[in-house]
Amino acid sequence: MSHKIWAAAAAASAFLLASVSVLQAETCGGIYTVKPGDSLSMIADNLYKNAGMWSTIHQNNLDTIGPKPHNLVVGARLNLACINGLPAGLEGGAEVAEVKAPTVPLQVAAGTAATAKKINLLTADDYAPFTDRNSLNGGLVTEVVQTAMTRANPAEGFAIHWVNDWSAHLEPLLSNALLDLGFPWLKPDCVQTPDNYRCENFYFSDSMFEMLVLVFAAKDRPVAFDMDDDMIGKTLCRPKGYYTHDLDKDGRNWLKDGKVKLEMPDKNADCFNMLLAGTVDAVVVDEFTGRSTMKELGIGDKIEIVQTRPLSIEGLHVVVHKTHPRAQELLDLINNGLAEIKADGTYQKVIGPHMSLIWADF
């Protein structure tokens, strides 16, 4: 009899352990505590099964880690986004059922005259993965803005409008308050260049999302980037039409003082082809642009991403013209909504599915 009782107890124990394992497997993302000997690459390899995803851990924990990804402190608690169902079983993870699956492209309802009484936000297509109606829920930043504004719950309501002429957004649509807020916009170095048009004329919200601008080098011609002076004398590449303010920010003055040469061909692919041909030393673009181009060209085995530090960290902001009569009120509204969704974990649930789709493309 005692043998049967022991066997039944063992079976029950095994069932409970299996149940716990299932429950752990049904959570995704959460908090990871840094251990001795850890690096972001090791954490990414262990938990995401992809060492290259060190950058998404860095991007998601910039406040904790700082700009240099190797500055890990034992005991630090890192917030890991749920991407493709991983990592599983961590403290504070979301139930897998709560993580939204990809949906159909965004459908925008037609406006009416009543829309004029709402807070009206302005964006455009062709900036995937951040804003594009063919992307999940209109893009990563679109959904963050939508969620933050929904949480802020303005009495008059709000609406997001799509005008596919980016050149018209700041002037005249926002400058004349024909619409109230615009996104997503990079913030120049307004300390170094206070006379920059955006600095002079617009207020910026807190960052809706921060992207890493990385250094891409050829594996057979590696580039060191431990400090800014390592780039002196180098020839860098970034496509025509892209911002260049980060090359001079924080006293670098790489372009201003002629410390580096910058090639700006028409396309991202041109930069990477020049890199492989040896006519430039590095490509310096945001992570998503760089990784997508590498995949498009099938050159992932020939390119390495410098892991010592990003070239810059660029926030994507909501802007309002300084002459708008409700400028500060509107900024406070969206900043408060953003702070709330970050504090309760909603922000992570929003960006997780987007990051899953982004990394699936890589």
Report residue 110's pLDDT band, with 50, 70 and 90 as the boundaries.
confident
**What does the pLDDT look like over 326-336, one tens digit per residue?**
999 999 999 99
Return the beta strands (E) in the chain as ranges: 27-28, 30-33, 77-80, 94-95, 119-123, 158-162, 181-186, 202-204, 209-218, 235-237, 261-263, 282-286, 303-305, 312-321
> How does the average pLDDT of the chain come out, rounded?
89
Mean pLDDT value across residues 72-78: 95
pLDDT attached to residue 11: 43
Average pLDDT over residues 268-276: 97
Confidence of residue 7 (pLDDT cuts 50, 70, 90): very low
What confidence tens digit (pLDDT) does each residue in 163-172 have? 999 999 999 9
By the 8 A CB rule, do 213 and 313 touch?
yes
Asked if 107 and 136 count as a contact pair (C-beta separation under 8 A), the reply is no
pLDDT at 85: 87
Q: Where in the chain is the domain with CATH 3.40.190.10?
A: 113-203+324-361, 210-313
Q: How confident is the model at residue 28, as a pLDDT?
A: 87
Q: What percent of the chain has pLDDT over 90?
A: 77
Fold of 113-203+324-361: D-Maltodextrin-Binding Protein; domain 2 (3.40.190)
CA neighbor of 211 nearest in space, from 192, 244, 243, 186: 186
pLDDT tens-digit map of 126-154: 999 999 999 999 999 999 999 999 999 99
Looking at domain 210-313, which of 3.90.79.10, 1.10.10.1590, 3.90.1150.10, 3.40.190.10 is its CATH number?
Answer: 3.40.190.10
* Mean pLDDT of the 113-133 span: 93
pLDDT grade for 3, boundaries at 50, 70 and 90: very low
Indicate the pTM of the whole model.
0.85
Question: Which residues make beta-bridge pairs with 147?
Answer: none
Mean pLDDT of 218-233: 96
